[in-house]
Amino acid sequence: MREVLGPALIGAPCSPPAPEALGQVAAAARAHDMDLALHAALGPGPWWPPAVGRDLAARARAAAAASEWRDDAARRAIDTLAAAGIDCLVLKGGALAHQLYPEPWTRVRHDTDLLVRPQDAQSARRALAAAGFAPAAGITGELVSHQTLCLHRDRRGMRHAIDLHWRISNRARYAGVADLDGLLAAAVPVPALGPHARAPGLADALVLACVHRLGHHPGEPSLGWLLDVHLLAHRLGPLGIASALVTAAAADVEAPCLAGLEAARRALGTPLEHLPDRPWPVARATAALDRLDRGGSQIETVLDDLRALPGWRDRLRLLREHLAPSAGYLRASMPAHAHRSVLALALRRVARGLGRAVSSHLHRGR
């Protein structure tokens, strides 16, 4: 796919695969949630095998309709927050779909991520709930989670999810990398989502895309997150990439950004040969990629977050929030056992989580 999808989506010259390979390319692209982007970039030409072409065309029509309905819900949520006097930014796919992709429906997304100030989180939840976006049961706490999932089902029966964030990551390692006020300084409008919709500037979006991928999807085989990085890097060019790396270094996340860009270069041919003042630092980027992009176990993730916190009081609080979430969350996450006591549910959750974490840790050590 490197030879086809990467160049096609940035408008670089590329030739469709040989006829005998098209089916395999389409299947590989679908496995990475990229087939609709490939279909839009190459067009509905005669090179697709008939069955593949028909399937892509049908799925493209369905994705276009779902994307428009999802955007309708996003506009409603953004307008609701604006009416309540709450500033927000659209993060990740909800904005990038309109900024970078051939068509918004070619960027696979299942929710819309909105960032507000921490002090506005409670008011934002109330405003969205009044507009029909009901908060879902989720793990809560001062350190363990910085987001609430708000759900709405429209008249068609389609479920819409607004992921309301007040920090950019649930990971303690990355939660303080950026905040709403810092991002607003370079924010750009997203007209497709209404007059109040804004998103981080593209340099900030590149930093956030790299941090999100390593913070929440390290070692994930899907290339979908890298496609965002690839398109952002192309749009920014060498000067913009250099600016993003300066921002990343100031926030102590240069290594995740180098790793994300290097992964995109390898997988999709992202053009990174020269920055304005130096060649692409292949050795440093490779070292960062090898160190960070390997997918740790849950135990390793929690330990890393504990190390990132400034003192033992916060570390103990994070452990407590992981081990003893609210009764509502415990019952919602284990409906078959909801009749049991909160203590029994908490112990069951700890035992199940430890079993999965140890299994993952042992498997990775083989």
Percent of the chain with pLDDT over 90: 48
pLDDT at residue 321, as a whole number: 83
In the predicted structure, residue 72 carries a pLDDT above the cut 50: yes
State the pLDDT at residue 51: 81
Question: Which of 347, 298, 253 shows the shortest CA–CA distance to 144?
Answer: 298
pLDDT cut 70: percent of the chain above it: 87
Of 324 and 188, the one with more pLDDT: 188
Q: Is it the case that residue 294 has pLDDT exceeding 90?
A: no
Chain mean pLDDT for the chain: 86
- Look at the block and give the residue holding tokens 């072409």: 53
Q: What is the DSSP letter of 9?
A: H
pLDDT: which is higher, 366 or 144 = 144
pLDDT digits 0-9 by tens, 206-256 = 999 999 988 887 777 678 889 999 999 999 999 999 999 999 999 999 999
Average pLDDT over residues 313-318: 91
pLDDT band (50, 70, 90) for residue 193: very high
- If one compares 295 and 186, the residue with the highest pLDDT of the two is 186
Confidence (pTM)? 0.87
Per-residue pLDDT, averaged over 12-39, amounts to: 75
Asked if pLDDT for residue 151 goes beyond 50, the answer is yes
Identify the band that residue 365 occupies on the pLDDT scale cut at 50, 70 and 90.
very low
One-letter amino acid of 200: P
CA distance 323 to 224: 32
Distance, CA of 357 to CA of 361 (rounded, Å): 6
* CB-based contact 91:114 (threshold 8 Å): yes
State the average pLDDT over residues 351-366.
56
Closest Cα partner for 244 from 270, 214, 211, 273? Answer: 211
Structure tokens at 83: 């009416």
Note the pLDDT tens digit of each residue in 183-192. 999 999 999 9
Give the lowest-confidence range in 3-7, 64-68, 114-118, 186-190. 3-7
Rounded Cα gap, residues 48 and 27, in angstroms = 12
Determine how β-strand 159-165 pairs with β-strand 112-115: parallel
Q: Which whole number is the average pLDDT over 281-300?
A: 81
Q: What is the CA radius of gyration of the chain?
A: 21
- Helix-, strand-, coil-residue percentages of the chain, each rounded to 5: 60, 10, 35
* C-alpha angle 342-344-348 in degrees, rounded to nearest 5: 115
Distance CA 294, CA 219 (A): 5
Greatest alpha-carbon span in the chain:
64
37 pLDDT band (50/70/90 cuts)? Answer: confident
Most confident of the ranges 34-38, 117-121, 273-277, 301-305: 117-121
Of 13-17, 169-173, 199-203, the one with minimum mean pLDDT is 13-17
The confidence band for 31, taking pLDDT boundaries of 50, 70 and 90, is confident
Can you give the pLDDT at residue 366?
43
Alpha helix (H) ranges present in 32-149?
A: 35-42, 50-83, 93-99, 121-130
pLDDT for 3 equals 63
Q: Compute the average pLDDT of residues 94-113.
A: 93
Q: Which three-class secondary structure state does DSSP give residue 177?
A: coil
Q: Inform me whether the pLDDT recorded for 357 exceeds 60.
A: no
Q: How many CB atoms lie within 10 A of CB 19?
A: 11
* Residue of 317 and 24 predicted with greater confidence: 317
CA–CA distance, 179 with 86 (Å, rounded to integer)? 14
Say if residues 276 and 239 touch (Cβ distance below 8 Å): yes
Q: Is the pLDDT of residue 47 over 70?
A: no
Q: Measure CA 280 to chain center.
A: 25
